[in-house]
Amino acid sequence: MNQKKLFHKIYENVKTILGALVIAVFIRTLIFQPFYIPSSSMEPTLLIGDRIFVSKYTYGISKHSFPFSPNFSKKRFFYKQPSQGDLVVFKTPADNRTDYIKRLVGLPGDEIQFIDGSIYINKQKINREKINKVNKVRCGKFSFEVDTYLETLPNGAKNIAVYNKAGTLMNTKKFIVPKDNFFLLGDNRDCSKDSRYLDSVGYVNFINLVGKAQIIFFSNDTLKSSILKFWNIKNSFRFDRFLRIIK
């Protein structure tokens, strides 16, 4: 192979690789991005070891839509406000780097408060029905028994939430959601760091929204399989969760 042909082959390979990278970045930035669920704060909706696809276009584009969150603008383009009940991935306001996923409960201007263990939005108690779908959930490496409810938010969106039987958060102060911000909660209400904790998460600005969780494409129980338990990896697969639409 002469030098000219070699150069042409290298050029074509580099062009193909760069083209693939551009397409991958475009898809990741504007269409879908995969995420891994490392914690139990969204049980029973999302489990540790779930891999999900998040739609990046649903709420528009901001700096956090791009890898490494380049600080090129403080605006959000093609913005569409999320709805109550959405499962939202966002950058935590504390560092603008860490990805969290929680359920959106409060919109800008809403008043949120826990009273006697129930959620009140704008002084109206949200409807909830006790169900027997889940009796126990994890909290890190531990687990506890729960009361499980089907909750209905003011816009009609429904979600399952669990509360620790041994003792749950009963009362809080009033949270008034600021303009362009949102109030988000974990479905595992007593094992979630979320908007109730103003010093660590708090209200989430619309710029920090990354996208909406749409589908679980793969899931395995990481407590059953690891490098030290590689022989059990097959039994760790949660086949019933593969390609499951997230609600």
- What is the total count of domains within the chain? 1
Q: Is residue 96 part of a domain?
A: yes
Q: Is residue 168 part of a domain?
A: yes
pLDDT of residue 143: 92
Query: What's the CA gap between 142 and 135, in Å, rounded?
Result: 14
> Is 22 strand, coil or helix?
helix
Query: What's the CA gap between 186 and 174, in Å, rounded?
Result: 18
Query: What's the CA gap between 178 and 46, in Å, rounded?
Result: 28
- Using alpha carbons, select from 204, 213, 199, 178 the residue that is nearest to residue 55: 213
Angle value at C-alpha 140, between 136 and 141, nearest 5 degrees: 85
Cβ neighbors of 174 (< 8 A, separation 6 or more) are 111, 112, 113
Q: Is residue 4 part of a domain?
A: no
CA atoms within 13 A on the CB side of 13: 6
pTM for this entry: 0.86
Q: Is residue 194 part of a domain?
A: yes
Q: Is residue 9 part of a domain?
A: no
Are the CB atoms for 99 and 123 separated by under 8 Å?
no
Q: Is residue 214 part of a domain?
A: yes
Active site residues: 41, 102
Q: Is residue 3 part of a domain?
A: no
Angle value at C-alpha 90, between 221 and 120, nearest 5 degrees: 95
Per-residue pLDDT of the chain (247 residues), as tens digits, is 566 666 656 666 676 676 666 665 656 666 789 999 999 999 999 999 999 999 999 999 999 988 888 888 889 999 999 999 999 999 999 898 899 999 999 999 999 999 999 999 999 999 999 998 889 999 988 899 999 999 999 999 999 999 999 989 999 999 999 999 999 999 999 999 999 999 889 999 999 999 999 999 999 887 765 545 555 666 788 999 999 999 8
DSSP 172: -
Q: Is residue 120 part of a domain?
A: yes
List the CATH number of the domain containing 230: 2.10.109.10
Which range of residues forms the domain containing residue 66? 31-245
